[in-house]
Amino acid sequence: MIHNKKLRIGILGGGQLGAMLIRSAIDYGFEISVLDKDVNAPAARYTNSFTLGDPENYDDVVAFGAQCDIVTIEKEAVSTKALKYLQDKGVQIHPSPELLATIQDKQEQKEFLKLHNIPVVPYVPVASKDELYGHTSRLPACLKMRRNGYDGKGVMMLHSEKDIENAFDGPAILEQKVKIKQEISVIVARGEDGAIEYYEPTLMVFDPEKHLLDFQICPASLDFEITNQAYAIAIKIATKMSLVGIMAIEMFITDDNKLLVNEIAPRPHNSGHHTIEACATSQYEQLIRAITGIPLGDTRLNCKAGLVNLIETGKRLDLSAIMNRPAIHLHYYGKQNSKPGRKIGHITITEPNIEGVIAQIAAIKNILN
Q: Are 103 and 264 spatial neighbours (Cβ–Cβ below 8 Å)? A: yes
The reply to whether 144 sits in an annotated binding site is yes
Burial 247-283 (b: 16+ CB within 10 A, else e): bbbbbbbbeeeebbbbbbbbbbbbbbbbbbbbbebbb
The reply to whether 92 sits in an annotated binding site is no
The reply to whether 183 sits in an annotated binding site is yes
The reply to whether 175 sits in an annotated binding site is yes
Burial class (CB in 10 A: 0-12, 13-18, 19+), 238: buried
Cα–Cα dist 205/210, whole Å: 12
The reply to whether 176 sits in an annotated binding site is yes
The reply to whether 263 sits in an annotated binding site is yes
The reply to whether 177 sits in an annotated binding site is yes
Which residues line the annotated binding site? 106, 144, 175-178, 183, 262-263
Which residues line the annotated binding site for ATP? 106, 144, 175-178, 183, 262-263
